[in-house]
Copies of this chain bind each other. A is one copy, B any other.
Amino acid sequence: MPTTLPGPIDPPARLLMGPGPIGAYPSVLRAMSAPLVGQYDPFMTGAMSETQELYRAVWATGNEATVLVDGTSRAGIEAAIISLVRPGDRVLVPVFGRFGHLLAEIAERAMAEVHTIETEWGQVFPASVIEEAIVRVKPTLLALVQGDTSTTMLQPLEEIGEVCARHGVLFYSDATASLGGNAFEADAWGLDAATAGLQKCLGGPSGSAPLTLSPRAVEVVQSRKKVEAGIREPGDPSAADFVRSNYFDLGMILDYWGPRRLNHHTEATSMLYAARECARVLLLEGRDAVIERHRVAGAAMLAGVQGMGLATFGDLAHKMSNVVAVEIPGGVPGDAARQAMLEDFGIEIGTSFGPLHGRVWRIGTMGYNARKDAVLTTLVALEAVLRRFGAAVPVGGGVEAAADVFAVSSAPAGDGSEEA
C-alpha cells in the first residue's frame, strides 16, 4: 500500500493549444459528473438513442449504424478495420503522416494484406493517384486519414467516395483529428465507415470513439456475425470468418445499440454523457458555425505566427483549420521553449514526430480553445518566450496580425474577405 495516499485530483490550470488532447468544453466536464443510471434504465437507452441521433447530425449522415465505441479514437479505428476486413483481404492505405502508418499497422494486425502508397510529409494525395493505386491493388477497403496532425495536412475526401464506389471498394476514413473543425460529409462524400475521438475539435476527453457505418458496411459486418458463446444456440450463425475480436465486433456492438439491445459490454455511462454533450454543444452552436469558428481561429493563429516572422511547414492550401506546424527559429531550443510556455504561462503547445521532430512545434486551435482569447494569449506568450530565448521577434507582430483576422471575421459573415 502506498505509504501516503495522494489527495483528490487537482490539475493545474492549463490552456491546451497543442495538436490534442485539448481542454474540454466546461459543459462537457459538468456532464461527466452527472449521476449514473442502470444499463437498461429507460433513461440510459434514451440517452444512447439521443446520442446516436446527435452524431448522425455531426457526421452528416442518415446511417442507422451510428454509435460510440468505448475506448479512445484508436479503438474506433480498430473496430472499423477489424470488423470490415477479413484475414487476407487487401487494404490500401495512402500514407501522408504518422496516422496513415497507424491505419496500416492496425490492418496488418487484423491479418490483412496491406498496401501503402506514400507522399512527402506536408503534402496530400490527388484523387487520381489514389485511383491509380486502387486499380493496381484492387483492395477490399481504402483506409484514409482525413486530417493527420503529424503533418497538419487535411486530405480532400470529396472525390474519393465516388472513386471507391466505381471500383467496388469500401471507403473508410479516420476523422479523429479533423471532425468538428473541418467539413466532413459522410453521406455526400460516400463514406462507408468513419471514426473519430472526442479529444480534438469535439472538445471532450479521450475515451469514446464516435463511429458511423453505411448500410453497405453494415452488410459486411452482419455477414460475419457469430453469436456469443454461452448464448449461442444450434442453428445460430457461426461464420468461419468471424471478427477476431469480441470487444470490437461491430455486429455485436450494433445489436447492443440497436432496438434488440443485446447485452455486450456495459456502456461507459460517463463517457456517453460526455460524447452526447460534445455533439450537443456543437449542434447548438451550429455545425457550419463551429467549422467557421475553427477556420477563423486557425487563420488567426497562422497569421499570428507568420506575423512573428516564423515559417510554417507543409502545403498551406491543404492545412487543417485546427493545427499549424511552426518551424522552430534557429538558435531557439525547441523543448526548453515549450517547457517555458507550460511552466511560465500554463500554455501547452505540441512537439512533433518522425521527420519533423525537433524541427517544428504544432499549435492547435480546437474545440473550446478555438477562441480569440486563447489564440491571442498563446501568441503574446510565445512572443515573450521567443524573445527570452534570444530570437528577434517584431514587437506585437503576431498578436496584431491575429487580431486583424478576428476583426475582419466578425464583420458581416459571408463576404469572403476574412483571409484577405
Contact = CB atoms under 8 A, between A and B. Distances in A.
A102 B9 contact: no
Interface stretch (A125-133, A226-234, A386-394): A226-234
A21 B269 contact: yes
Interface stretch (A32-40, A165-173, A183-191, A306-314): A32-40
Contact of A14 (B1, B13, B41, B71): B41
Given A31-B8, A70-B72, A268-B271, A354 B230 contact: yes
Interface residues of A, number: 95
A244 interface: yes
B18 A38 contact: yes
A30 interface: yes
A265 B230 contact: no
A267 B206 contact: yes
Interface in A10-35: 10-14, 16, 18, 20-24, 27, 29-35
B246 A2 contact: no
Interface string A189-229: 00000000101000001110000000000000000000011
A98 interface: yes
Contacts of A75: 70-71, 75, 247, 265
Given A6-B54, A231-B354, 12 more contacts: A1-B283, A2-B283, A6-B50, A72-B265, A98-B231, A101-B230, A105-B246, A106-B246, A109-B242, A244-B244, A245-B248, A270-B270
Interface of A: 1-2, 5-6, 8-14, 16, 18, 20-24, 27, 29-39, 41, 43, 47, 50, 53-54, 57, 70-75, 78, 82, 95, 98, 100-102, 104-106, 108-111, 197, 199, 205-207, 228-231, 242-249, 263-271, 273-274, 276-277, 280, 283-284, 287, 342, 348, 353-354
